[in-house]
Amino acid sequence: MIDVENREPILRVKDLKTYFYTEDGVVKAVDGVSFELYPGETLGIVGESGSGKSVTSLSIMRLLDERGRIVSGEIIFKGKDLLKLSEGEMRKIRGNEIAMIFQEPMVALNPVYTIGDQIMEAIILHQGVDEKKAREMAIDLLRKVGIPEPEKRVDQYPHQLSGGMRQRAMIAMALSCRPSILIADEPTTALDVTIQAQILDLMKELQNEYGMALIMITHDMGVIAEVADRVAVMYAGHLVEYGEVHEIFKRPRHPYTYGLLSSIPRLDVEQEKLKSIPGTVPDPLNFPTGCRFHPRCEFAEERCKVEEPEMVEVLPNHYSRCFFWKKLEDLEVK
Amino acid sequence: MRQETKRTLRRFLRNPSSIIGLSVLIFFTAVATFAPLIAPPINPMDPSRKVSNPYIMPKVTWKGEPIPPSGRSDALKEFIIKGMQKQLYKAKASELVPVVKHVMDRARPGDLCEAYSKSYKIKSQVKAKLLSMVDELEKAGLSDPKSMINSYMPSDFIVVCSEAADMDKDFATYLKSFDADSMSKGDLITIIKYTVHYLSLKDLEKAASKLFGVDGNVLKWMEENGYIKRDPIRTVDYHPFGMIDGRDIMYGVVWGTRTAFKIGIIVTFFGTIIGLLVGSIAGYYGGWIDEVLMRITDVFLSIPFLVAAIVLTTFLGTGLDKVMIAMIVFGWMGTARLIRGNILQVKEEQYILAAKALGVRDYFIIMRHVIPNTIFPVVIQASMRMGSLVITAAALSFLGLGAPTGYADWGSILNYSRDWILGAQGEAFKYWFALAYPGIAMVLFVLSWNLLGDSLRDTFDPRLRG
Amino acid sequence: MKKMPVLKVENLVKHFPIKAGVFRRTVGWVKAVDGVSFEVYEGETLGLVGESGCGKTTVGMTLLRLYEPTSGRIIVGDEDTTYYFMPTLRARSYIKKMYLNRFEKLYDERKDAALEELEGVDRRYYERFLKEGKSGLYRYLLSNISEKRKAFRRNLQIIFQDPYSSLNPRMRIKNIVAEGIKAHGLAQGEEVIGKVADLLGGVGIIPEHMYRFPHEFSGGQRQRIGIARALALQPKVVIADEAVAALDVSIRSQIINLMEELQQKHRLTYIFISHDLSVVKHVSDRIAVMYLGKIVELAPKKELFENPLHPYTVALMSAIPIPDPDKRNKKRIILQGDVPSPINPPKGCRFHTRCPVAKKICAEEEPPLVEVKPGHFVACHFPGSLSWKS
């Protein structure tokens, strides 16, 4: 377990607001998110579609499309605010110090270049070695991420690899410059469970070896429980709960987290009927007033409709954005 | 739905290209609709009468219109002479005889002398006659007329001739008494060529009517048969777009708008129908039907369009309708491919499978599920094609396959003004208006359809749907 | 207790041709489903679980006859429905091959006595064959084929995975739900609207919203509409093809609960196709695990989870991340490599290339699906040799 108190975070996101200006109005995709990432730890960001978890990661990388704008906030990485860097300085950090892997490696890999070319490009760009050396390094990396016959695979094109192999190649590319932070955006969602297990295993192994911090973005509570040290739960552009993984899973103090945990079909326990969160995920153009979860919340009261709750520390290093978190004290996740 | 419609409309109207395209098209539609008011189809020769076919640009003939407005007869004479020249060499000698007789009758003796000076055979006869008059000529004040007569300088000869004709009536009669019937064709042509310039307009017309064997208004006849073409002119008051060959360009551009819409709509409609039919049958049924239909499509695609159109018009004959047929026959393949591709895509959609699982009949599946979800790109493509079709039609008209001479069609007007594209000597842009106005109309028309199609695609592109 | 199956699949095979070249010659076959047999009993939920490419979706599509089966027999209730959607000539040759040739041989050998060893459809058809002869059986099977097709459609319905692609974006909800009702003439005029309202109410959609278009609904609501459409024909069997896979976690449980309620209310039988073993475990009574076009293990839920016998089943179970950080360090079986291509499946046991306990025989001989305990079938030479529970 990581001793949060005595360590300096490698990345600190403060009050990040990322809005999208669409024809239909302003989408407040990320609306005041703050968290820290400590060296070597894994932070899981969990949320449903439209919760803003992917936009958060794209904001850190400053890879938003032209409609998206970071309205306010700070992203402090090694003492520098990434939002104040020029595009050129940012490019040096991107891929080199902070790397990212995506859900669908087929989209992230360029289909007209070989796997080797793409890894070598990153190596040559950031490390300034010659082509021969870069090729050796690329083969080494492919071997390290568990791709069989790397000497052969290095000259293959993305479409010649299976989904799992592509994701491995993607990881190899991300690791090519030994980044201090790796952001993984739903890295296993498109994969089969047996392959997912391989990839998660590999990522854990590599994290130990390289000592990098990992931000794991997923909608799958199972994956979070498997890999994360600390968890940030997002709902409708807000962070609703934030804390150490055992805390979040054993003592959720936000009704959304609680609802989410008890609505998952479980392989390890017998459940009669699934609990479910009523209603639908809110329209990002039109978030509810007050607490954004209140229309679906079983504990909601009048106050929740009008007043927006702040993040409060409900337990040491465990934060929740709920007025009535005490109501959850006696409940147990089944 | 209302909300969705509003959203779509808003997206459409926010797009500047759609606004521009739409307003230009509305303008063209208005022009086409009100063509009879903007450019009344009235016979300019007789303003009380309407023209029988408003799509044929009415033509102003020489006598009815003060064209060219200044120095009228000279310019007109030039036209007539130009027109006659071609015929002179074509005609038989016997046909030239009456013309020569007329010319000899009407020409001044001095002018005849000039003509004779170019023909050695006649010159020698006249010389003999003149030599007999040497004394009298000397008396009249010419110094050494004999040597002047024998001189090799034609001008000397002419001087003597004119002097003789002036003082001696007999000589003048003699000059005109040459027997045209016995002259060679070369002499006949020489006489006509060197005397017509000196004829009055009236006599010239008469000469022309004798040459062409036409009674009555020979000018009109010559014009109609292409012997004379007037240079384009532009008078800001009466003909702001200018005139080519006696036809008002503005009239042509205005009524050409109707033609453009006609070509666009008819060809697009039938081309799309054929394409839809072929493409949807191929796409929906697949298998060997698809194979056969798509190979046929490939064959059609592999034939160069212009060559095909030329071959087809040699079978069918030229004309706007024939051009439209050619464009339909060789213009459906794009739609067929597009709709086939879309259907192949939609066929895999789960709602189609769901309908099949419900036991819905094929006919309803096509009508309710396949068509509504595949037709939009076809509509967008059709709107894009509207513009380009007008260009194709113009190209064919330019090649002379399209509309007949004088038809109110932008391409035909351009074809018509082809002779003046290079301008006049030393004035490259003298006749700019002959090309500019129909050209601008065409560019705007094509551009506006393309803008509209583009913005429709942007609006309805499913990837942009929120 | 021998229950009567509502749906019985025998040796179902579906191969897709791979065409290439100018003349579209068949250069190979994708063996998506390669000999699958199972029975589904009334009111139960059979879970069909496996990874992508195992053929589970193809099984569903072939059952619904959205794909024509390559071979095999699909019996619904007490009728063979395999030939329903074939062209007449092919249907005749199917009947000849499947029944007449066999019956004639049986009759030559043992006359009426052969009836004793036949059961189910075979027995019923043989009786008719004895009574009315060859032509009588043809007449019985081939008459009223369009009525039979309609009845088949009414009995079997499907819920699709993708709530966005499964509803026609240009149709109103009312027309989407009413489509089946109209196609089968189950109601006319005003009645249709009443029925649609009932159906929508039954799945938790406000009936007043029936005039809206699909895009005005969220993913979960669309899935409810898809369920209403499937239920419009009052089917006996509903195939749910990854029906909750595309939904958000908080919505997924709503739909699962709804499907369970509807099963109780309408006595529905579900075939629940999914890649997610946790969901399948929650909803199913019996579970069939598929791998590369074959069922490798089939057992009642409890039995399967307490006593998984096939190594693949064990590996699948162990690979699923458990949402409990305390169980993070459980023993996990990580399979090596990828699923082989269904164009060229491995010889012998199809799983042997990835199996941690494979022996020599596994590469040579294909293990049959055998009943090792009552109701527990497994296709493995060494069942139970891989264990996982810590």
* Pair C271, A260: CB distance under 8 Å: no
Q: Which of C56, C253, C335 to mutate to test the interface with A (most CBs of A within 10 A)?
A: C253
Cβ proximity of C137 and C129 under 8 Å: yes
B236 pLDDT tier (thresholds 50, 70, 90)? low
Q: Which two tokens mark B54?
A: 């408003």
Residue C157 is predicted with a pLDDT of 94
Using the beta-carbon criterion (under 8 Å), do A266 and C320 form an inter-chain contact?
no
Specify whether the CB–CB gap between C9 and C233 falls below 8 A: no
Q: What is the predicted pLDDT for the residue at C285?
A: 94
Q: Please name the member of C248, C257, C279 whose beta carbon is closest to the beta carbon of A48.
A: C248
Q: Which residue of A has its CA nearest to B11?
A: A23
The pLDDT value recorded for residue C307 is 92
Give the pLDDT band (50/70/90) at residue C61: very high
Per-residue CA distances from B187 to A70, A96, B85, B156, B199 (Å): 95, 97, 15, 21, 18
Return the number of other C-beta atoms located less than 10 Å from residue A209's C-beta. 10
Interchain contact, A193 vs C320, CB within 8 Å = yes
Mutate to test the interface with B, among C81, C162, C165, C209 (most CBs of B within 10 A): C165
- The answer, for B379 touching chain C at a CB cutoff of 8 Å, is no
- Most C CBs within 10 Å, among B4, B289, B358, B369, to test the C interface: B358
Q: Which chains touch A (3 or more CB pairs under 8 A)?
A: B, C
Interface membership of A272 toward C (CB under 8 Å) = no
The per-residue pLDDT for A147 is 86
Q: How many CB pairs under 8 A join A and C?
A: 133
Per-residue pLDDT tens digits for C168-192:
988 899 999 999 999 998 888 889 9
Identity at A260, one-letter amino acid code = L
Which amino acid would we find at residue C229? R
What structural domains does chain B harbor? 2-20+250-464 (1.10.3720.10), 71-242 (no CATH)
- Residue C282 near chain A (CB below 8 Å): yes
Q: Residue B464: its pLDDT value, please? A: 45
- Give the pLDDT confidence of B89-108 residue by residue, as tens digits: 888 888 888 888 888 888 77
Task: State the average pLDDT for chain A.
Answer: 88
Which of A3-7, A289-293, B263-267, B384-388 shows the lowest mean pLDDT across its residues? Answer: A3-7
pTM for the model: 0.78
Kindly report, residue by residue over C97-151, the tens digit of the pLDDT. 999 998 888 888 887 777 778 888 888 898 888 888 888 999 999 988 999 999 9
Given a cut of 60, is residue C80 above it in pLDDT? yes
Instruction: Enumerate the residues of chain B whose CB falls inside 8 A of the CB of residue C26.
Output: none
Q: Would you mind telling me the total number of residues written for chain A in this entry? A: 334
Asked if A289 is an interface residue toward chain B (Cβ–Cβ < 8 A), one would say: no
ipTM metric: 0.87
pLDDT given at position B466: 37
Q: How close is the nearest chain A Cα to the Cα of C318, in Å?
A: 9
Return the CA Rg of chain B.
34
Per-residue pLDDT band for B120 (boundaries 50, 70, 90) equals confident
pLDDT at B339 over 80: yes
pLDDT digits (tens, 9 = 90+) for B30-44: 999 998 888 888 776
Output the pLDDT for position B128. Answer: 80
Helices and strands: H and E segment counts in chain C: 13, 12
Check whether B87 has a pLDDT greater than 70: yes
Range C362-387 average pLDDT: 92
Least confident of A195-199, B236-240, B275-279, C175-179: B236-240
**Pairing state of beta strands C370-373 and C79-80?**
unpaired
Comparing CA positions, the residue from C63, C75, C7, C12 lying closest to residue C39 is C7
A22 touches chain B (CB under 8 A): yes
- A25 to chain B, any CB pair closer than 8 A? The answer is no
A134 touches C: beta carbon within 8 Å: no
The top-scoring range by mean pLDDT among B145-149, B395-399, C310-314 is C310-314
Kindly indicate the confidence band of residue B66, based on its pLDDT and cuts at 50, 70 and 90: very low
Record: contact B354-C226, CB cut-off 8 A = yes
Distance from CA of B295 to the nearest CA of C (A): 11
CA dihedral C125, C128, C130, C131 (to 10 degrees): 180
∠ CA B144-B147-B153, rounded to 5°: 120
C249: contact with A, CB 8 A cutoff? yes
Q: Which residue of A has its CA nearest to C341?
A: A162
Determine the pLDDT at residue B392: 86
Could A193 and C319 be called an inter-chain contact, meaning their C-beta atoms sit closer than 8 Å? yes
Q: Decide: A181 and A215 in contact? Cβ < 8 Å.
A: yes
Contacts of C276 in chain A (CB under 8 A): 193, 265
Q: Are C316 and A193 inside 8 Å of each other by CB?
A: yes
Give the C-alpha separation, A276 to A271, whole Å.
Answer: 13
Q: Which range has the worst mean pLDDT, A193-197, A251-255, B171-175, C35-39?
A: B171-175
Q: Considering chain B, what is the average pLDDT of its residues?
A: 81
Residue A6 burial (10 A CB sphere; 0-12, 13-18, 19+): exposed
For residue A27, give the nearest of A45, A49, A52, A53 by alpha carbon: A52
What number is the average pLDDT over the span A190-197? 85
Closest C-chain CA to A166: C338
Predicted local distance difference test score (pLDDT) of residue B235:
67
Chain C residue with minimum CA distance to B356 = C66
State the average pLDDT over residues C61-83.
92
C153 and B369 in contact by Cβ < 8 A? Answer: no
Q: How does DSSP classify residue B39?
A: S
User: Searching chain B, which residue's CA lies closest to the CA of residue A24?
Assistant: B7
Q: Are C283 and C272 in contact (CB under 8 A)?
A: yes
Higher pLDDT: B437 or B221? It is: B437
Residue in B with minimal Cα distance to C210:
B1
Quote the tokens at residue C337: 């490599």
Residue in chain C closest to A272 (alpha carbons) equals C282
CA dist., res. A123 & res. C172, Å (int) = 54
pLDDT, one tens digit per residue, over A68-106 is 999 999 999 988 899 999 988 998 888 889 999 988 777
**Distance between CA atoms of residues B215 and C248, nearest Å:** 94
CB atoms within 10 A of CB B348: 10
> For chain A, how long is the longest CA-to-CA vector?
67
Residue with tokens 């109103």: C172
Average pLDDT, chain C: 90
Contacts of C218 in chain B (CB under 8 A): none
- Percent of chain B residues topping a pLDDT of 90: 15
Chain B residues closer than 8 Å to A24 by CB: 7, 466
B360: its two tokens: 């819905």
- Whole-angstrom Cα distance, residue A142 to residue A69? 36
Q: Which two tokens stand for residue B187?
A: 């002499």
Partner-chain residue, chosen from A245, A267, A281, that has the shortest CB–CB distance to C218: A281
What is the structure's pLDDT at B242? 77
pLDDT in the model for residue C47: 96
% of chain A at pLDDT higher than 90: 45
Sheet holding C45-49, edge to edge: C156-159, C237-241, C269-274, C45-49, C286-291, C294-300, C376-378, C370-373
Residue type, B456: L
The span from the first CA to the last CA of chain C, in angstroms, equals 35
pLDDT tier for residue B424 given thresholds of 50, 70 and 90 = low
Q: Indicate yes or no: CB of A24 within 8 angstroms of CB of B466.
A: yes
Cis peptide bond prior to B68, omega within 30° of 0: yes
| B466 vs A contacts (CB less than 8 Å) | 22-24
| Chain B contact probe: residue of A21, A24, A283 with most B CBs at under 10 A | A24
Query: B7 — contact with chain C (CB < 8 Å)?
Result: no
Q: Is A165 on the interface with C (CB under 8 A)?
A: yes
Q: Between chains, do C317 and A267 touch, taking CB under 8 Å as contact?
A: yes
Choice between B465 and A306, residue whose per-residue pLDDT is larger: A306
Give CA torsion, residues A304, A308, A313, A318, to 10 deg.
80
Q: What is the DSSP string of C88-147?
A: HHHHHHHHIIIIIHHHHHHHHHHGGGGGGG--HHHHHHHHHHHHHHHHHHHHHHHTTHHH
Q: Could you give the CA distance from residue C131 to residue A110 in angstroms, rounded to a whole number? A: 69
Please name the member of B351, B359, B361 whose beta carbon is closest to the beta carbon of C168.
Answer: B351
Q: Does C322 touch chain A (CB under 8 A)?
A: yes
> Is C168's CB within 8 Å of B373's CB?
yes
B58 — pLDDT class (breaks 50, 70, 90): confident
* Best mean pLDDT range from A159-163, A237-241, B47-51: A237-241
**Chain B hits for C161, Cβ within 8 Å:** 350
Q: Is A309 helix (H, G, I), strand (E, B) or coil?
A: coil
